Amino acid sequence: MQLRTKKYFGTDGIRGTVGTPPITPDFMLKLGWAAGKVFAREGNGHNKILIGKDTRISGYMFEAALEAGVTAAGVNISLLGPMPTPAVAYLTRTLRAQAGIVISASHNSFEDNGIKFFSSEGTKLADEVEYAIEEQLAKTVSTVTSQSLGKATRINDAAGRYIEFCKSTVGSSLKFNGLKIVVDCAHGSTYHIAPNVFEELGAKVKAIGVSPDGLNINEHSGSTSPQILAETVLAEQADLGIAFDGDGDRLIMVNHLGNIVDGDEILYVIARDRRRQNIDFGGVVGTQMSNLGLELALDALDVPFVRSAVGDRYVMKEMLARGWNLGGESSGHIICLDVTTTGDGIVSALQALAAIVNSEQPLADLTSKMRKLPQSMINVKIGTAVDIATNNNIQSAVTDVESQLGKNGRVLLRPSGTEPVLRVMVEGEDLDLVDRLAQELSEVVATEVASPN
């Protein structure tokens, strides 16, 4: 059987540079029409699609194009304005829409943009639906009759609805009174939501990265650049800091010492708290890139741990297959399926803060039982595709490195999904040894799969 491939959809929607196909107004109009035609098949009469966006300047242009396309297909739309990606997932489900569309390039800078879709259940689209949209994209746009055109409305209380949902995920009795928190919204879509959530739960909040101008999203701020957050935590003598990315599905934290706490450590904190409260969450799903220290720390808690391919889509797939409720990535995508349907930065932060309050311990103490092992990553440029698994020289080198690392070390060779490089990662207990072995292994790999350029 021939494998089907997607022309536009990647692992997390469609993304690229604004003005470069397919991230163009004409394509977005057709994409809206194609999606409208596919989702119009579900149910009777006028269906409804929600559209939200982050704060980058091109969002206005693509929102208008999608609106034209969806309504031309005879489907109603509800405009949410700037709204975190997980908020669109939540509102799609609770407002009984057929689908949700997010205009965002997540943690990328303003020059990029993209489209993410959610199903009526608030989850990522199934492959079959993405195939159906791409099949529709190959057709010529046709407009329904005037009396059948879709209508556009705006949901003015969308932010308030989502704020109340976030607060509900930690229970009505939990209060953050006495906690001083710095919140960095990356000048992105959480700017008008996240500070309110934590303040309404009793925390004293210092908000930064809350002045979007369309061009500064993720600029020297947020989860991908938490240095200013760390400096502000120290300057304000805050208990901790919280950083989101531009669309609010990623979370990185900073403890009171100014040390960065990544997704692996946040997963550990949440898992530890659930185990302490005897809450059954099955186990934890990480990825190939998750630090070995997380695996060892969870093992000490007798919590099962498995790795999926890199990407929150694959984490989710593994969680659903196993019936587990907790998973995520080092980058800060945390999924708590017992409280929501997708990765949510604000909800994940609340789970971590609940652990701090429940344990009456600072974040630094809660992460102290997990020792992150040193990792060294080297990108090797590659030419044509090569089967690493059948290359005897590479496999021999990997075996040699693994024997030197011992049981508390590992090697990962992973082709990049976005650029022509092979990522060579070595992880172990001794930093100098890890660095040396990574360099030696990358040299072997470079010789075997060297790019002609």
Cα separation, 325 vs 72, whole angstroms = 40
Cα separation, 229 vs 244, whole angstroms = 11
Conformational region of residue 187, where left means phi above 0, alpha means psi within -120 to 50, and beta covers everything else: left
Residue 209: partners with Cβ closer than 8 Å, 6 or more residues away: 184, 185, 186, 187, 188, 191, 221, 222, 243
Tell whether the torsion through CA atoms of 100, 104, 105 and 107 is positive or negative: negative
Q: Quick one: DSSP state of residue 154?
A: E
Measured N-to-C along each axis, helices 263-276 and 292-300 cross at an angle, to the nearest 10 degrees, of: 10
Cα separation, 43 vs 122, whole angstroms = 17
Is the Cβ–Cβ distance between 193 and 159 less than 8 Å? Answer: yes
3-class DSSP state of 281 = coil
Cα separation, 154 vs 359, whole angstroms = 42
Is the Cβ–Cβ distance between 259 and 248 less than 8 Å? Answer: no
β-pairing, 260-261 with 251-255? antiparallel
Cα separation, 14 vs 408, whole angstroms = 38
Instruction: Give residue 243's Cα distance to chain centre.
Output: 13
Residue 22: is the preceding peptide bond cis (ω within 30°)?
yes
Order across the sheet with 48-53: list the strands.
14-17, 112-119, 99-103, 48-53, 76-82, 152-154
Residue numbers annotated as active site: 106
Six-digit token string for 264: 């692996």
Closest-CA residue to 49 (of 87, 83, 76, 31): 76
Cα separation, 129 vs 38, whole angstroms = 8
Cα separation, 307 vs 330, whole angstroms = 12
Q: Which residue has the tokens 């710095």?
A: 182
Cα separation, 56 vs 103, whole angstroms = 9
